[in-house]
Amino acid sequence: MRAHGIARHDACAVARHRGRARWPPAAVAELRELLAECPERERTRRLRGGGHAVGHFRSAPPCKHQRFSRAKAVKRPARAFGLLVASICGLGIGLQQAAAQTAPPRAPAQSTASAAAPVRFLVVASQESILSASTAGRFAKVQANLGDTVRAGQLLAAFDCAEFQARRDAARAEAESARVQYEAKLKLQGLQSAAEVEVELAAANVNKAQSQIRIFDAQLGQCAFVAPFAGKVARVHVKVGQGVNPGAPVVELVGNGPLKARMNVPSQWLAWLKVGDRLQGTVDETASACDLKVTRVAGRVDAVSQTVEIETELAGGTAQVLPGMSGQIRAPAGR
């Protein structure tokens, strides 16, 4: 290269060149000598800046036709694999649709089975009542016994109400005193010896005393427990001499009227069940058949159990049936 007149700065320029061509060995050796004569800073900058070291030249990059052929060769297996996956998925979806079309529906069978299953019912009395204490007291009388037949208005139990009677007597005395004072004020007003205000105050005292009498009369009325309707005694909770607090149960009564049965039937029955329809049932305790007439149907279906509550009246076969017994019914044939 010296023979051709290449100066030192030209050698540095050649070293900075990023050519891709292959150099002859003699030229490479001479280029290394010239590169050694370049300034140290320039050589360091070239080496750090990513310049190609002499003797380690990169090979020429592949042409665009080679790159395209390689990418195409890589894409071909991926495309074939994608087509295979798509065909498998399509086959699976087709099999599922065919199975769904050929499989028989199960929901109607389940609903039919639930509608045909027996339904339990509970016998209840037409009238039931639990007499409870409205005030605190101690029982002086308990005349009701378990299973007794009672009439409406009959005394069943009573508190010891001597204290209430004494208070009522005191209130009556005060009312009488207020009445006498009022009459005296009226006479004095006629003689112009009493003002009108005094007469009005005396009249107010009379009204107050009479109100106290009514209060004690009401308390005395709560001391006695009478039957609100004719029926039978189902349970007695108290005894003579026993003290109770307000709200404590005393006697339970059931009426003598016709018996009823309550049950929760499947909601599918609403398609044909109407008020007035008759159902056939069997009481478990007596093993006797009974005729049930639908009297009431609830206005809402239970969202969880999909049942509706109905109330029926036992029309026949109830001679030995008592409230609290249970039985079962089935939907009529063809329903």
For the cut 60, the answer to whether the pLDDT of residue 10 exceeds it is no
What are φ and ψ of residue 309, in 5° steps? Answer: -85, 135
**Predicted local distance difference test score (pLDDT) of residue 248:** 94
pLDDT band, residue 1 (cuts 50/70/90): very low
Q: Which two tokens stand for residue 176?
A: 């009488």
> Which position has the higher pLDDT, 8 or 97?
97
Residues facing 281 on adjacent strands: 290, 329
Round to whole Å and give the CA distance between 275 and 261: 14
Mind listing the pLDDT tens digit for each residue in 194-205? 788 888 888 999
**Predicted local distance difference test score (pLDDT) of residue 240:** 94
Let me know: does 124 contact 311? Beta carbons within 8 Å: no
Round to whole Å and give the CA distance between 306 and 300: 10
Mean pLDDT of 88-107: 53
- In our burial notation (b when 16+ CB lie closer than 10 A, e otherwise), range 107-140 reads eeeeeeeebeeebebebbbeeebebebeeebebe
Whether the CA torsion 265, 270, 272, 277 is positive or negative: it is: positive
For the cut 80, the answer to whether the pLDDT of residue 147 exceeds it is yes
Burial class (CB in 10 A: 0-12, 13-18, 19+), 199: middle
**Predicted local distance difference test score (pLDDT) of residue 65:** 44
State the maximum Cα–Cα separation within the chain, in Å, rounded to a whole number.
166
> Which position has the higher pLDDT, 59 or 36?
36
**Predicted local distance difference test score (pLDDT) of residue 196:** 84
CA triple 146-148-152, angle to 5 deg = 125
For the cut 50, the answer to whether the pLDDT of residue 57 exceeds it is no
Mind listing the pLDDT tens digit for each residue in 247-256? 999 999 999 8
Mind listing the pLDDT tens digit for each residue in 306-323? 999 999 998 876 778 889
Let me know: does 268 contact 230? Beta carbons within 8 Å: no
- In our burial notation (b when 16+ CB lie closer than 10 A, e otherwise), range 148-175 reads bebeeeeebbbbebeebeebbeebeebb
**Predicted local distance difference test score (pLDDT) of residue 82:** 56
**Predicted local distance difference test score (pLDDT) of residue 60:** 46
**Predicted local distance difference test score (pLDDT) of residue 40:** 54
Round to whole Å and give the CA distance between 329 and 266: 12
Mind listing the pLDDT tens digit for each residue in 261-278? 999 999 999 999 999 999
For the cut 80, the answer to whether the pLDDT of residue 260 exceeds it is yes
